[in-house]
Amino acid sequence: MDAAQAVLKISDMPFPAVDEQQGTVEGAGPAPRADNRDTVGEPFVEDPRMTCRDVNVYYGEKHAIRDVSIDIAHNEVLAMIGPSGCGKSTFLRCLNRMNDTVDTCRVSGRILLDGLDIYGRLVDVVPLRARVGMVFQKPNPFPKSIYDNIAYGPRIHGLAESRSELDGIVENSLKKAGLWQEVHDRLDQPGTGLSGGQQQRLCIARAIAVQPEVILMDEPCSALDPIATATVEDLIAELREQYTIVIVTHNMQQAARVSRRTAYFHLGALIEVGPTDRIFTNPRHRLTEDYITGRFG
């Protein structure tokens, strides 16, 4: 047989087509069917900071989150990914009861923070939101000075007894957010005058100032340029030493870079949770694989 014939022999054999019904590739391992909505992977951890069980969220008639159960560990960065409308931001907002502000929203199931049911009758959401802070997609500094942006929370929560103590909190928070060097000589200037990346780090410093245990981040870099994004991602890696961070992102490379565990949501269901390196090299669920490889249907 000559080379040309040999070429035909091999290249005539097609690579196997993905079986749409079974959700597997012929010869592949036991991937769950594409229509299976049970969570696969490792959603639970030992000694969790937050425990979520059978969480369902409704906006009026719309069933936005379906039976989500997951633990969030101490000092971990958990990334939540999924297509638009999959419920990842809705779920994030359940973790500090931000959904309470939506009239039609109803949450069922249990969400515990250090064993405390955050939806308990006696829970005051103001201190809860200090313990579970939040950073939003678009930097939203108060129209106040840089100093007052940070000092606002500690003042209303009574965390400082003197001006010098408050000064210490402001300095410490800005240092933790990697912003101190850039702003220490202009603390009296408006926070809104900073660049986008600096504003976002100011918002992170503001969340840190009230001594949270968990920081929720809803697409914190989507309004930032690549350099500001890299700075914030670097900051997330440092903050992990002291805080638990849950980040929602549309940027899969960002999820891969910053998080230790990744959770994939699809149509309100938690499809797969696992170590980030495994999710991005060898996901177990067909839907996760399709989403992260761009084979969206």
Footprint of another protein (CB under 8 A): 1-3, 6-11, 13, 15-16, 18, 25-29, 252-253, 256, 280-283, 288-290, 292-297
Q: How far is the CB of 28 from another protein (least distance, A)?
A: 6
Q: Which regions of the chain does DSSP assign to beta strands (E)? A: 18-19, 24-25, 40-41, 48-59, 62-73, 77-81, 105-113, 116-117, 132-135, 214-218, 244-248, 261-266, 269-275
Residues 6+ apart with CB under 8 A from 297: 290
Q: Which residue has the tokens 């170590």?
A: 275
Q: How far is the CB of 22 from another protein (least distance, A)?
A: 15
Helices (H), 66-145: 88-94, 125-131
Please tell me whether residue 82 adopts helix, strand or coil conformation.
coil
By beta-carbon proximity to another protein, the closer residue of 158 and 294 is: 294
Structure tokens at 41: 């992977």
By beta-carbon proximity to another protein, the closer residue of 2 and 61 is: 2
Q: How far is the CB of 42 from another protein (least distance, A)?
A: 15
Chain centroid offset of residue 136 CA: 11
By beta-carbon proximity to another protein, the closer residue of 28 and 125 is: 28
By beta-carbon proximity to another protein, the closer residue of 13 and 126 is: 13
Q: How far is the CB of 184 from another protein (least distance, A)?
A: 37
Distance in angstroms (rounded) separating the CA atoms of residues 146 and 189: 6
By beta-carbon proximity to another protein, the closer residue of 65 and 81 is: 81
Q: How far is the CB of 35 from another protein (least distance, A)?
A: 15
Residues 6+ apart with CB under 8 A from 253: none
